[in-house]
Amino acid sequence: MSGDKVTKALLFLSSLTVLLLSAGIVLSLTGGAIPAFREYGPGFITSTLWNPTTGSEEYGALPFIAGTVITSLLALLLCIPMAFSTSLFIAEYFRGTRTAGILRSLVDMLAGIPSIVYGFWGFYALRPLLISTGLTDQGFGIFTASIVLAIMIVPYATSLSAEIIAMVPSELKEAAYSLGATRREVIFSVIIPSARSGIVASFILALGRALGETMAVTMLIGNANIIPKGLFSPGNTMASVIANQFGEADGLKLSALIAIGLLLFAITALVNAAGKFIIRRFA
């Protein structure tokens, strides 16, 4: 019997690592961010200055918060029609068929491609395409980064949406069909209303992915420490400024970057928690 206790204690101890890791991450980020917050106070979040010159150092996070929020929301906007049609394709129009299976595998493949490969592809294939449209000179910026981000988060939104759509009870759909509804009417007046919260949650979770995405964005956004002025303006996200500037940073700059990391951590944790909450509560 005492052997069982040892096993149980071992399992319990390993579960403690999760607790320690989580606490450690929060404490280390907070500890690292303290110098920056002590120097600039809450104004760190609303300041748009980013000047690493020694002597007149001045750091603010607003341009990066804006960059992250704008690129992620734009990516979400572009992702919605794609994920919406793909999930209806898989879970409604071609449900259970071989075609749906193939499409699902293809969408899953999108999730398997490493971020840096997306960035590289965006740089050499997508960017020239955008330049040739004449809308942008350099091809870098918010829009380019958002397109690639949208492609990257489609699989996450699709797989959950499709699952939720497939769970809509067939009695409901059949009742609508028996009243003479067309498939389009069934989709818009039965399927979507009853799967609404699950679909919303899947998009929120996809947004959570987009917020923290680093490499592809870093390679495409143009890396300018300003609040983006338009669709084709360069910018920087919280993740990309860390990736770009962490290497040579120390002192106050290092602390400012860690503080940005802490903010990013808080934003993604909140967005993910909201998504999970909606799923648990309504789906």
Partner 1 sequence: MNSAMDNLLTDNIKRRNRTNTRLKYIIIAGAVITVVPIFLIVGNLALKGYRQINLAFFTEPAPDTFQAMMAAASGEVIPGGIVNGLIGSLLMVLVASLVSIPLGLMTGIYLYENGTKRYANFIRSLTEILQGVPSIILGIIAYLWVVKNITRGYSALAGSTALTIMMLPLIIRSTEETMKMIPVTIREAAFALGAPYYKMIIKVLIPVSFSGLATGVLLALSRILGETAPLMLTALGNPSVSLDLTKPVSAVPLLIWDFYNDPNMVNLVWSASLFLMIFVLSMNLLSRSIASKHKYI
Contact residue for partner 1 among 42, 54, 98, 125 (CB under 8 A):
125
Region of residue 222 (left: phi > 0; alpha: psi -120 to 50; beta: else)? left
Binding mask 205-244 for partner 1 (x = CB under 8 A): ---x--xxxxx--xx-------------------x--xx-
User: In Å, how far from its chain's centre is CA 272?
Assistant: 9
Number of residues that bind partner 1 (CB under 8 A): 82
3-state secondary structure at position 181? coil
Nearer CB in complex with partner 1: 174/229: 174
Cα torsion 160, 163, 169, 173: sign:
positive
**Residues 260 and 238: beta-carbon distance below 8 Å:** yes
Per CB under 8 A, 193 contacts partner 1: no
CB of 17 vs partner 1, minimal distance in Å: 6
E strands along the chain, which residues? 50-51, 58-59
Stretch that binds partner 1, among 37-45, 47-55, 117-125, 165-173 (CB under 8 A): 117-125
Contact residue for partner 1 among 56, 132, 133, 184 (CB under 8 A):
184
Q: What gap in Å lies between CA 258 and CA 260, rounded to an integer?
A: 5
Stretch that binds partner 1, among 41-49, 69-77, 133-141, 182-190 (CB under 8 A): 182-190
Contact residue for partner 1 among 39, 49, 194, 265 (CB under 8 A):
265
**Residues 64 and 236: beta-carbon distance below 8 Å:** yes
Site residues for partner 1, 33-92, by CB under 8 A, read 81-86, 88-90
Cα torsion 121, 203, 68, 265: sign:
negative
Note the maximum CA span of the chain.
76
CB of 93 vs partner 1, minimal distance in Å: 6
Q: How long a stretch of residues is the chain?
A: 283
CB of 57 vs partner 1, minimal distance in Å: 20
Stretch that binds partner 1, among 37-45, 113-121, 135-143, 228-236 (CB under 8 A): 113-121
**Residues 126 and 147: beta-carbon distance below 8 Å:** yes
Contact residue for partner 1 among 30, 32, 37, 194 (CB under 8 A):
32
Q: What gap in Å lies between CA 192 and CA 179, rounded to an integer?
A: 18
Contact residue for partner 1 among 45, 48, 52, 123 (CB under 8 A):
123
Contact residue for partner 1 among 114, 128, 169, 193 (CB under 8 A):
114
Stretch that binds partner 1, among 37-45, 136-144, 180-188, 227-235 (CB under 8 A): 180-188
Cα torsion 49, 50, 51, 54: sign:
positive
